[in-house]
Structure 1
Amino acid sequence: MQNDSKSGRRKFLRNTLTVAAGSTLITPSLFGAPSILKYYNKPNSKFNGVQIGVITYSFRSMEDQSAEATLKYILDCGINAIELIGDPAETFAGRPENKLNRSVFSGLMKKKKSGSITDDEVKELAEIQAEQAAYNDEVTKWRKNADMKRFEKFRKMYNDAGVNIYAFKPRNTFGKNNSDADIDWGMKTAKVLGASHVTVEHPSDDPTTLRLGNFAKKHGIYVAYHGHEQQTPTLWDTALKQSKYNALNLDLGHFVAAGNAAPLDIIKNKHEHIKSMHLKDRQTPEHGKGNLVWGSGDTPIESALQLMRDKKYTFPGTVELEYNIPEGSNAVAEVQKCIAFCEKALK
């Protein structure tokens, strides 16, 4: 009877914690139960020595974006390490609410980029940008007095559940026009969260990478620059010469879509400076640059993972879900597929 009782408790906990993707979320109160989360059923997405993580941006389409819900998505995917976008942690710590409609803003920016924006939409975009600027100022003021104990509590909640935060990417923090206070806050918070590096879009501006490299040295943390289609094998060379704290957040999919030949070579040549690498399956320019379901594009994800395994590279590969989610599915289910792809490649 004693063994049956233990088996019953294990079954109850499994059913409680491993809820199918898209079903009712476990309640925030459960995350205050360290006796459950701290010791039971820790996730593991490290396969044959290669750490696979996810950027929490991948779950942006899920309705609940709270710290607790985001952790639930991560656990549902069996992931034990992440690159954390700032929103879940900052809202958990009391950041003022942003009422900006991001989908409307993104849609207008796409229209502006394509040249299809109307005069009325130009005015609407300008109004939204003004609102965003005012909100950014409000956030900067909040950050100056933000309670770091809330970020410590956030980290503990994630760590107790078996999830490590290896990178932190807060919004509007490390740009050319950000204040010293913003940059200090971002790097200080990253360390509180346990991250080894912060990530930011490569600014293509040498004074900015020099400035960020100096701040990174001050805080004893790396700043890893993310690239899109401006990536070339030499994009990071100046930044790397400026500071040993400047590094790469390589995006292999965007690198392929940019038309670079031999994408595995940049991993081999720059592996000592890569702190994390984004994984997605994009096509070459000749094939249309599409962002596709993994295994159907031109990005050598499988070969890259096997290279990391065979060469014993220690930086994590970060799942970034950017292809269109099929009808009837959701972000959690698609990230699960990406993790399964990685595990199979690394067997």
Structure 2
Amino acid sequence: MLAINDQPHQVSRRDFLKKGSMASLGLLAAPSLFGSADLFKGPGSKFAGVQIGAITYSFRSMPGSIQEVLQHTINSGVSAVELMGDAVEEYAGCPADKKQMAGWRATVPMDKFKAVKKMFDKAGVKIYAFKPDALGSGNTDAEIEYAMRAAKTLGATAVTVELPRDPKQTERLGKLGAKHKVYIGYHAHTQATDTLWDTALEQSPYNSMNLDCGHYIAAKGHDTNSLLALIEKRHSRITSMHMKDRQTAAHGGENLPWGQGDTPIKEILTLLKTKKYKIPVTIELEYRIPAGSDAVQEVKKCLDYARKALA
């Protein structure tokens, strides 16, 4: 996610809904990120073996209950999502007072999360990643373990979080990920380098990359060749990708509609198709929505671009 100053965009639960009404573990062997089974059975947005999904943050300008988020997803034609935590936690009855959140997360039963999975399954939408605001250095171990239990209950393979600066935190998350067998996909902005994730990936087999291709391409010194090389090198450790079309730093770094920026979207999708990398590609809508349109219509445009690129 991109804020105007290119810092991680923090969207609170209230704001999100209001807007719309291995170190010591190094010797452990982790299973494949995606296993041998095809995790994505839903209709609609898998083309030539490449699963196109969306992060539900893309619908932040629209009504945001869990039922509405699902409807936006269906209306956009997307059959797989990275699910933000806000609407799910509201549905599960989280307290309005943030001071009570840690205690609630430590004790909340998974019944409502099971209901959400059933709801999405019935609609043919797979939840492949879960992004609650519960994985930071200020969160308790109980909160982090809650996030992982919830992810598994929702059917997700991974939780996602901004890459911490402190390697102690990635080590902590990696150990808890190994305990619960849930991957932690670390997201980065334009601070990304080809070696940025190396320490985290070495600390635990459950530490992985949530590679944002748009932010990467907007960082100084990066180009199509370096991005494709990084994907090839690290494909087995990439949990999912965020896809947006940004300009390079030299061109201004702006977020633009797909096909108008410098992110090599077609080349990336072709690489996944050719190499048969089982990495879901996540539409993240961050460019300005044109007058007369809405987030659902713009996600549909991105999905159509991907479909044509993979034809």
| Contact 2:285/2:295, CA 8 A, preserved across alignment | yes
| Contact 2:102/2:139, CA 8 A, preserved across alignment | no
Q: 1:75 is matched with which residue?
A: 74
Which runs of no fewer than 5 residues in structure 1 stay unpaired?
A: 1-41, 98-134
The letter for the 2-side match of 1:286 is A
Give the Cα–Cα distance (whole angstroms) in 2 for the partners of residues 145 and 290 of structure 1: 43
1:142-191 per-position Cα deviation (integer Å, ceiling 9, x unaligned): 212212111101110001110110000002x1111211111111111111
Q: 2:122 is matched with which residue?
A: 160
Equivalent position to 1:181, from 142, 155, 158: 142
Q: 1:92 is matched with which residue?
A: 91
Q: 1:293 is matched with which residue?
A: 257
| Contact 1:43/1:75, CA 8 A, preserved across alignment | no
Calculate the aligned-residue CA RMSD, in Å: 1.0
Q: Does 1:197 align with 2:158?
A: yes
| Contact 1:198/1:221, CA 8 A, preserved across alignment | yes
Structural mapping, 1:175-324, within 5 Å: 175-259=136-220, 260-261=222-223, 262-324=226-288
Deviation at 1:308, TM superposition (A): 0.4
Give the Cα–Cα distance (whole angstroms) in 2 for the partners of residues 256 and 170 of structure 1: 26
The letter for the 2-side match of 1:335 is V
Give the Cα–Cα distance (whole angstroms) in 2 for the partners of residues 337 and 95 of structure 1: 34
The letter for the 2-side match of 1:251 is D
Deviation at 1:315, TM superposition (A): 1.0
Deviation at 1:77, TM superposition (A): 1.2
Report the number of matched residues. 267
Deviation at 1:193, TM superposition (A): 0.6
SS of alignment partner, residue 229 of structure 1: coil
Q: 1:151 is matched with which residue?
A: 113
| Contact 2:130/2:159, CA 8 A, preserved across alignment | yes
The letter for the 2-side match of 1:303 is E
Deviation at 1:247, TM superposition (A): 0.3
Give the Cα–Cα distance (whole angstroms) in 2 for the partners of residues 137 and 276 of structure 1: 32
The letter for the 2-side match of 1:142 is W
The letter for the 1-side match of 2:197 is W
| Contact 1:250/1:276, CA 8 A, preserved across alignment | yes
Deviation at 1:265, TM superposition (A): 1.1
Sequence identity (%): 52
The letter for the 1-side match of 2:165 is S
Give the Cα–Cα distance (whole angstroms) in 2 for the partners of residues 148 and 245 of structure 1: 23
SS of alignment partner, residue 228 of structure 1: coil
Deviation at 1:136, TM superposition (A): 2.8
Q: 1:140 is matched with which residue?
A: 102
